[in-house]
Amino acid sequence: MALVWKIDEVVNEIALWPVKKFYPTLIAKRTGLPIDTVFTRLLELTKDHKLCVKWELRCPGDNCARTLLVLDEKAVKLRDVFCQYCGHDFCEGDDGDVYDYIYPAFEVCKDYKEYLRQLDLQTKKKQPPMKGKKHLN
Ligand SMILES: [Zn+2]
C-alpha cells in the first residue's frame, strides 16, 4: 500500500497548484512508479470523488496531436470525428483502435481541492515563520 500512498501524496500536492488538469505521466515521473499502477490508483481516487477523469481524443495525424474532443465517457463514435487542423479523417475501421487515441486527463474535484486548501492554510497558521521567533530571544 505504501507505494500507492505516494501517488496520493503527489495528487494532494498537485491539487494546490494552479493547474486545471494533469496526466498520469506526471505522477509516474514524480513517484517513479509504473504508469499502470498510477493509472489504477488515480481511477480509484475518482471513485472516492477526489478526482474526476476526462477522456481526451487526440488526433493521430502526423505532427498534429491536437485534442479534438473531451469526453466524460470513453464511448465515442470515431467515424463522426474529423480533424479540422490537419484533415485527418477517422474511418470506421479506426473504431477498434480507439484506445490508441484516447488519453485520460484528471482533474481534482472542487470540494476536495477546497478541503486541501483549508488544510494547507491551517498548517501554515500553526507554524509561524522563523523570523518572528528571532525577536523573542
Ligand atoms: Zn489533426
pLDDT value at residue 47: 95
Residue range 79-125, pLDDT digits in tens = 678 899 998 887 655 555 666 788 899 999 999 999 999 999 998 88
Position 9 scores a pLDDT of 96
Quickly tell me which residue has 500507492 as its cell.
Answer: 4
CA 17–ligand 1 middle distance (angstroms): 30
Q: Is the pLDDT of residue 132 over 70?
A: no
Say what the pLDDT of residue 123 is. Answer: 87
> pLDDT band at 16, cuts 50/70/90?
very high
Q: Which three cell numbers stand for residue 123?
A: 498548517
Whether residue 1 is predicted with pLDDT greater than 90 in this model: the reply is: no
From the CA of 23, how far away is ligand 1's center (Å)? 20
Distance 56 CA to ligand 1 centre (A): 13
Quick: pLDDT tens for 18-56. 999 999 999 999 999 999 999 999 999 999 999 999 999
What's CA 82's distance to the chain center, in Å? 25
Beta strands in 22-117 (DSSP E): 51-58, 67-71, 102-108
Q: Which residues lie below 8 Å from residue 107, measured CB to CB, with a gap of 6+?
A: 20, 21, 51, 52, 53, 54
Domain ranges (residues) in the chain: 1-50+109-137, 54-102
25 Cα–ligand 1 center, Å: 22
Q: What is the pLDDT of residue 21?
A: 95
Give 116 Cα–ligand 1 centroid separation in angstroms. 38
Q: How far is the CA of 63 from the centre of ligand 1 (A)?
A: 8
The alpha carbon of 34 and the centre of ligand 1 are apart by a number of angstroms equal to 29
